[in-house]
């Protein structure tokens, strides 16, 4: 695609645009000329015995409108980008327009957010207005992955329970929103051992949460789990610093059961949450973080 942004293509687009405008005027000039072709002001063509093609000139209003259109196009191309890489006299760009509108919106909302910016999570959650704003921010920026009800889906964390990969405090949630997260579990099959070893480790993982499992296989897999303990901990309770899931609960982000766990061990997993600080201001992130924190409470603090 980079080939479309070199000088050759910019020149091609400029020439094609200018030639098109010139040809429009030439076509108008040709069509505007009236040639007498017959005494009855017709072209001499007759169909169905009495249907004649007349030789009337173009209406003046149509010609005027056509000329105005071409003049408008010329003025527009002089002011705005349209001729290849030419930026236009006004130096307008969609990026600048977007940033300008976002700056105006943030300035207009600044007094509202100023009330909430220093509030802790517990106090923030009691503010009905803050929770309403947080709900809209969540719907616009987070619901695409976590769902409109924030319960997530396979591969996308549920934000309404109390299970957190990177911690569930307001500051940790804000850090996740601000900088994003990149969870990476490398393929561990070769490090664990044979296919049978991997199967045994899977059953040991199932046993950690008291899920249905083969107790003999689980006992055999316990020693091999040492390979996984570096991230998930010796007891399998996870590590917020690394985003390693807690394996002792019954919450499964990528599927449950022997085969699902075997696939994860063999193939690894990569999950990426994009950073949102390019779209949201720190004040918005604070309110959004409070809303997400409130979702995970046993009973939400704010009354909606």
Give the DSSP letter string of 239-257.
BTTTTBPPSSSS--SS--S
Note the pLDDT of residue 299.
Answer: 56
> Cα(190)–Cα(87) distance, rounded to whole angstroms?
56
Question: CA 16 to CA 2: how far, in whole Å?
Answer: 20
**Alpha-carbon gap, residue 192 to 232, rounded angstroms:** 14
Beta-carbon contacts of 205 under 8 Å, excluding residues fewer than 6 positions away, are 221, 225, 228, 236, 247, 261
User: What dotted CATH number matches 184-273?
Assistant: 1.10.760.10
Higher pLDDT, 146 or 8: 146
- Residue 301 confidence (pLDDT) above 80: no
pLDDT digits (tens, 9 = 90+) for 162-184: 899 999 999 999 999 999 999 99
User: Could you tell me what percentage of the chain is helix, strand and coil, using 3-state DSSP and rounding each to the nearest 5?
Assistant: 55, 10, 40
At residue 10, the pLDDT reads 84
Please, are residues 183 and 269 in contact by the beta-carbon 8 Å criterion?
yes
Among candidate residues 174, 184, 182, the one with its CA nearest the CA of residue 274 = 182
pLDDT score of 302: 47
Q: What is the reported pLDDT for 9?
A: 83
- Rounded (10°) angle between helices 195-208 and 215-224: 100
Give the torsion sign (CA, 170, 175, 177, 180).
negative
Residue-wise pLDDT for 188-243, tens only, equals 999 999 999 999 999 999 999 999 999 999 999 999 999 999 999 999 999 999 99
Gap between the Cα atoms of 232 and 245, Å rounded: 7
Tell me the per-residue pLDDT of 52-100, one tens digit each, with 9 for 90 and over: 887 777 788 988 998 999 999 999 999 999 888 888 899 999 999 988 9
Predicted TM-score (pTM) of this structure: 0.72
What pLDDT is attached to residue 245? 94
Mean pLDDT calculated for residue range 273-278: 94
pLDDT of residue 5 exceeding 80, the answer is no
**Torsion sign over Cα 265, 192, 257, 185:** negative
**Contact (CB, 8 A) for 197 and 207:** no
Tell me how far CA of residue 192 lies from CA of 4, 97, 108, 168, 293, in angstroms: 49, 54, 57, 31, 37
Residue boundaries of the structural domains of the chain: 2-79, 101-180+274-295, 184-273
Q: Tens of pLDDT along 7-58?
A: 788 888 889 999 999 999 898 888 777 666 667 777 777 888 888 887 777 7
Confidence of residue 304 (pLDDT cuts 50, 70, 90): very low
Q: How many residues does the structure list for the chain?
A: 304
Domain 101-180+274-295 has CATH 3.40.50.300: no
Residue 152 — pLDDT band, cuts 50, 70, 90? very high
Instruction: Report yes or no: 17 and 82 within 8 Å, Cβ to Cβ.
Output: yes
Distance (Å, rounded) from C-alpha 191 to C-alpha 231? 14
Specify the pLDDT at position 303.
Answer: 42
- 143 versus 256: the higher-pLDDT residue is 143
pLDDT of residue 6: 63
């Amino acid at each position: 695609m980079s080939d479309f942004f070199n000088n050759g293509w910019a020149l091609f687009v400029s020439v094609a645009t200018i030639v098109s405008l010139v040809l429009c005027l030439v076509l108008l000039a040709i069509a505007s000329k009236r040639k007498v072709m017959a005494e009855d002001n017709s072209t001499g063509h007759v169909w169905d015995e009495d249907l004649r093609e007349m030789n009337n000139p173009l209406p003046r209003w149509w010609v005027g409108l056509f000329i105005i259109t071409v003049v408008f196009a010329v003025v527009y191309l002089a002011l705005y980008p349209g001729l290849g890489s030419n930026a236009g006299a006004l130096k307008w760009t969609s990026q600048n327009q977007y940033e300008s509108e976002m700056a105006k919106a943030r300035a207009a909302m600044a007094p509202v957010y100023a009330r909430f910016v220093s509030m802790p999570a517990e106090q923030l959650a009691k503010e009905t207005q803050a929770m309403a704003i947080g709900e809209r921010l969540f719907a616009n920026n987070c619901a695409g992955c976590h769902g409109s009800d924030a319960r997530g889906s396979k591969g996308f964390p549920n934000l309404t329970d109390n299970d957190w990969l990177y911690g569930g405090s307001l500051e940790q949630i804000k850090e996740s929103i601000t900088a994003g997260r990149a969870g990476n579990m490398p393929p561990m099959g070769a490090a664990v051992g044979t296919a049978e070893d991997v199967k045994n480790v899977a059953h040991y993982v199932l046993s950690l949460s008291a899920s249905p499992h083969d107790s003999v296989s689980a006992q055999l897999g316990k020693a091999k789990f040492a390979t996984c303990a570096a991230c998930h901990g010796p007891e399998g309770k996870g590590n917020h610093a690394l985003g390693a899931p807690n394996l002792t609960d019954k919450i499964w982000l990528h599927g449950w059961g022997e085969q699902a766990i075997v696939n994860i061990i063999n193939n690894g997993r990569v999950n990426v949450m994009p950073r949102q600080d390019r779209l949201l201001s720190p004040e918005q992130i604070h309110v959004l973080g409070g809303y997400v924190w409130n979702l995970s409470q046993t009973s939400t603090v704010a009354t909606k």
